[in-house]
Structure 1
Amino acid sequence: MIRAVLLAFLLAGPAAAQVPEPDAYRGEPYRAPVPATLQGATVIDAAQALQLRAEGVPFVDVLPRKLRPEGLPEGTVWREPAHETIPGAIWLWDTGWENLAPAEQARLERGLAEVTKGDPAAPLVVFCRSDCWMSWNAARRAVALGYTGIHWFPGGIDGWLAAGGAPLVKATPAAP
Structure 2
Amino acid sequence: MIRLAIAISVVIAVPAWADIAEPSGFRGEPYTAPVPSTLQGAKVIDAEMALTLWAEDAGFVDVYPRTLKPQGLPEGTIWQEPRHDTIPGAIWLWNTGYESLTAEEMQRLEDGLASMTRGNPDMPLVIFCRADCWMSWNAAKRAVDLGYRKVMWFPGGIDEWQDALGPDLVRAEPVAP
Runs of 4+ with >3 A deviation = none
CA RMSD of aligned residues (A): 1.1
CA displacement at 1:72 relative to structure 2: 1.1
Letter in 1 for 2:95: D
CA distance in 1 between counterparts of 2:75 and 2:106 reads: 31
Unpaired segments of 5 or more residues in structure 2?
1-15
Compute the TM-score of the two structures, normalised by the length of structure 2. 0.89
Q: Deviations along 1:101-135, whole A, 9 cap, x unmatched?
A: 00000000000000011011111100000000000
Question: 8 Å contact 1:91–1:172 — kept in the other structure?
Answer: yes
Alpha-carbon distance in structure 2 between the residues aligned to 1:17 and 1:174: 36
Mean alpha-carbon deviation: is it higher for 24-33 or for 71-80?
71-80
Residue matched to 1:97: 98
Distance in 1, Cα, partners of 2:49 & 2:72 = 44
Amino acid at match of 1:165: G
Q: Which has the larger radius of gyration?
A: 2
> Could you say which residue in structure 1 is the equivalent of 2:4?
none
Amino acid across the alignment from 1:104? E
> Tell me, what secondary structure is at the counterpart of 2:61?
strand
The answer to whether the aligner puts 1:45 opposite 2:56 as a matched pair is no
How far has the Cα of 1:75 moved from its partner? 1.5
The answer on whether the counterparts of 1:16 and 1:35 sit within 8 Å (CA) in structure 2 is: no
Shift of residue 16, structure 1, vs aligned partner: 5.2
Determine the structure 2 residue equivalent to 1:124: 125
Confirm or deny: 8 A CA contact 1:26 1:137 kept in the other structure: yes
- Offset of residue 87 of structure 1: 0.5
Alignment match, 1:70: 71
Which amino acid in the other structure matches residue 27 of structure 2?
A: R
SS of 1:108's equivalent? helix
Q: Scaled by the length of structure 1, what TM-score is found? A: 0.90
After TM superposition, give the deviation of residue 18 of structure 1 in Å: 0.8
**One-letter amino acid of the counterpart of residue 129, structure 1:** R
